[in-house]
Amino acid sequence: MEKIWLRDYPPDVPAEIDPDSIPTLQQLFEDACRRHAAKPAYTNMGRTLRYAELDELSRCFGAWLQHEAGLSKGDRIALMMPNVLQYPIALIGALRAGLIVVNTNPLYTARELEHQLTDSGATAIVIFENACATLAGIIARTPLRTVIVTGIGDLLGFPKGPIVNFVLRHVKKLVPPWRLAGAIRFRATLRAGAQLSLRPVEVAATDLAFLQYTGGTTGVAKGAELTHRNMVANTLQTVAFMPELKQIPNPVVITALPLYHIFALTTNCLVFTAIGGHNVLITNPRDLKAFVAELSKVRFTFIVGVNTLFNGLLNTPGFAALDFSSLKLALGGGMAVQKAVSERWRQVTGRHICQGWGLTETSPVGAANLADETEFTGSIGYPVPSTEISIRDDAGNELPLGQVGEICLRGPQVMRGYWQRPDETAKVMLPGGWLRTGDVGRMDERGRTYIEDRKKDMILVSGFNVYPNEVESVVAALPGVLEVAAVAQPDERSGEVVALFIVKKDPALTAEQVIEHCRRELTGYKVPKAVYFRRELPKTNVGKILRRELRDELQRPAAA
């Protein structure tokens, strides 16, 4: 296939990267810590770790895992923490010890946690104490042998650390009572590891670095097998595609998305480590007032988020008054960036939101808009270097430009497969290394891809396809709308109709106003037939609206 998108690549963006120029994540981390030793690496709640400290503390933790926990190459370790300093230390230490990291959502229910620990075969876990009660209820049915516990404030120093832990435990009562026999504190592992040596481990580029769990395109949560080569490649692809990242002497990125999620793991942790950047960790981005207060303390050059995060900040008092003079790039992904949000972001900050796209199975970045675009394109941009995108029909045949089909991707960032699920792997892999992404879209004559929606979220109205993203984008432009989700509602005549769930910004907004607005902007079959107002919408851990939950609600007899 002809790579027509290369015609629009700027001169300083290469068509290809060498994914083998850095063999493993071990080397990426160790080289970065050596080259940027004196620079700040991570800041959280006022405490900053420099790269030299990150190097030493991760070495201590890796040594403890080898000597005291008895873990060896290929063993799995789960990390179950929000954005705190302990996360990058544990992540890097585990990889330096040759382990496979199983990133785990701290908000998991007992059922979800048991499935992931059992399926992955994790024998160790680093867990923040707020989630220990959940683990205690299911640990006997998992392979876990080593439990390392940490509090949110454990690495914040004195007196802030003890105060933060006291408030969370005894004032806000966010730490339920728990008991885990034999559990050791994270700080104790660092103290003990300081007296031990980290044994060198021979790791190959093709060895697994992460089991990153995802619902994928079908079924139950599965572990995407991401190798060192996958993750290094995607890091190099992102850096190559956005040369702006390397043009700032001391780049500062706001990290509000959780590092255990693949989006922030690569775009924040790995990319900014590779360039010697400074991650400012936001532990609880849902507290938007406190989030804005943190932003006021730092001159940040980059921010990575999802549409709901950007929209939430724009609607938080004090955000518009911040100093955005140092902001170079706002990168949006994880869900469609709405034009109304991007336009307002540009009005407030002076920069539009640069939309990218990917999925867990692609480590995750597959495409992005050019950072210097001056207008909102509505597309996900161009394939990043060493990446091909092809629009295919259900049989796997390539479709002509402009036609809508499933977006398929090929490149060095594509996962090895699903952990212990060859049948599921076969469903998404086409001959020649092409991955079926489950996203429906089209490509224009410049090689830019436009996503219509997730295949499974498509609404079928009397045989016509309706894509929720389009409807949501139209409704989001209404001044009285804060958040919106469009889903399928069963209908006797047409099979399905469009239903909207809306969080109001203007209390006076009515369903009739919304539907009338849609009639002016959308073809008849796309106009919603029902509007339900909610105080909030269900979201994933990174803020993506869970259409599935809303759709399921409408399947029940007593819907809304």
Residues 53 and 86 in one domain: yes
Whether cis (ω within 30° of 0) applies to the bond prior to 364 is yes
Whether the predicted pLDDT of 560 surpasses 50: no
Q: Going by C-beta distance under 8 Å and a sequence separation of 6 or more, which residues neighbour residue 140?
A: none
Residues 47, 306: Cα–Cα separation, whole Å = 26
Residues 129, 133: Cα–Cα separation, whole Å = 8
Within-domain flag for 208: no
Residues 275 and 395 in one domain: yes
| pLDDT at residue 282, as a whole number | 98
Within-domain flag for 213: no
Q: E strands along 266-376, which residues? A: 278-281, 302-305, 329-332, 353-358, 365-368
Residues 445 and 525 in one domain: no
Within-domain flag for 216: no
Instruction: Render 207-253 in DSSP notation, one character per residue.
Output: SEEEEEEE-TTSSS-EEEEEEHHHHHHHHHHHHHH-THHHHSSS-EE
Helices (H), 363-502: 422-428, 468-476
Q: CA angle at residue 448 from 398 to 389, to 5 degrees? A: 40
Report the range of poorest mean pLDDT among 196-210, 218-232, 337-351, 363-377: 218-232
Pick the last residue of a domain from 402, 430, 454: 454
Express each pLDDT in 280-327 by its tens digit: 999 999 999 999 999 999 999 999 999 999 999 999 999 999 999 999
User: Which of 451, 446, 452 lies closest to 2 in space, CA to CA?
Assistant: 446
Q: Residue 460 — very low, low, confident or very high, per pLDDT cuts 50/70/90?
A: confident
In this structure, the number of other CB atoms found within 10 A of the CB of residue 478 comes to 20
Whether the predicted pLDDT of 136 surpasses 80: yes
Residues 108, 78: Cα–Cα separation, whole Å = 13
DSSP designation for 257: S
Whether the predicted pLDDT of 118 surpasses 80: yes
Within-domain flag for 479: yes
Residues 106, 53: Cα–Cα separation, whole Å = 26
pTM of the model: 0.90
Express each pLDDT in 347-358 by its tens digit: 999 999 999 999
Express each pLDDT in 372-390 by its tens digit: 888 889 999 999 999 999 9
Burial 100-111 (b: 16+ CB within 10 A, else e): bbbbbbbebeee
Whether the predicted pLDDT of 270 surpasses 80: yes
Residues 183 and 251 in one domain: no
SS3 504: strand
* Residues across the chain: 560
User: Which of 266, 275, 255 lies closest to 232 in space, CA to CA?
Assistant: 266
Within-domain flag for 61: yes
The more confident residue out of 437 and 215 is 437
Q: Which residues pair with 383 in a beta bridge?
A: 367
What CATH number should be reported for the domain holding residue 492? 3.30.300.30
Is residue 403 classed exposed, middle or buried when 0-12, 13-18 and 19+ CB atoms within 10 A define those classes?
exposed
Is residue 463 classed exposed, middle or buried when 0-12, 13-18 and 19+ CB atoms within 10 A define those classes?
exposed
Residues 426 and 277 in one domain: yes
Q: Residue 328 — very low, low, confident or very high, per pLDDT cuts 50/70/90?
A: very high
Per-chain mean pLDDT for the chain:
95
Instruction: Render 124-151 in DSSP notation, one character per residue.
Output: EEEEEGGGHHHHHHHGGGS---EEEEE-
Give residue for tokens 């044994």: 199
In this structure, the number of other CB atoms found within 10 A of the CB of residue 10 comes to 10
| pLDDT at residue 392, as a whole number | 97
Residues 275 and 396 in one domain: yes
Residue 59 structural domain:
26-37+45-203
Q: Residue 215 — very low, low, confident or very high, per pLDDT cuts 50/70/90?
A: low
Q: Residue 490 — very low, low, confident or very high, per pLDDT cuts 50/70/90?
A: very high
Mean pLDDT for the stretch of residues 11-33? 97
Residues 320 and 427 in one domain: yes
Report the range of poorest mean pLDDT among 165-179, 202-216, 271-285, 470-484: 202-216
Would you state the structure tokens that stand for residue 123, as one six-digit string? Answer: 């024998």
| pLDDT at residue 467, as a whole number | 87
Within-domain flag for 358: yes
Percent above pLDDT 70 for the chain? 98
Whether cis (ω within 30° of 0) applies to the bond prior to 177 is no
Residues 198 and 240 in one domain: no
Q: How many domains does the chain have?
A: 3
Q: CA angle at residue 203 from 198 to 204, to 5 degrees? A: 165
Residues 447 and 496 in one domain: no
Would you state the structure tokens that stand for residue 48, as one six-digit string? Answer: 């900053």
Residues 248 and 197 in one domain: no
Mean pLDDT for the stretch of residues 251-267? 96
Residues 311 and 443 in one domain: yes
Residues 193 and 327 in one domain: no
Pick the last residue of a domain from 435, 454, 473: 454
Give residue for tokens 């205690």: 136
| pLDDT at residue 462, as a whole number | 84
SS3 371: coil
What CATH number should be reported for the domain holding residue 368? 3.40.50.12780
| pLDDT at residue 303, as a whole number | 97
Q: Residue 559 — very low, low, confident or very high, per pLDDT cuts 50/70/90?
A: very low
CB 537, CB 528: distance < 8 Å: no
Residues 376, 355: Cα–Cα separation, whole Å = 9
Whether the predicted pLDDT of 557 surpasses 70: no
Within-domain flag for 560: no
Within-domain flag for 212: no
Q: Residue 217 — very low, low, confident or very high, per pLDDT cuts 50/70/90?
A: very low
Residues 473, 302: Cα–Cα separation, whole Å = 25
Whether the predicted pLDDT of 127 surpasses 60: yes
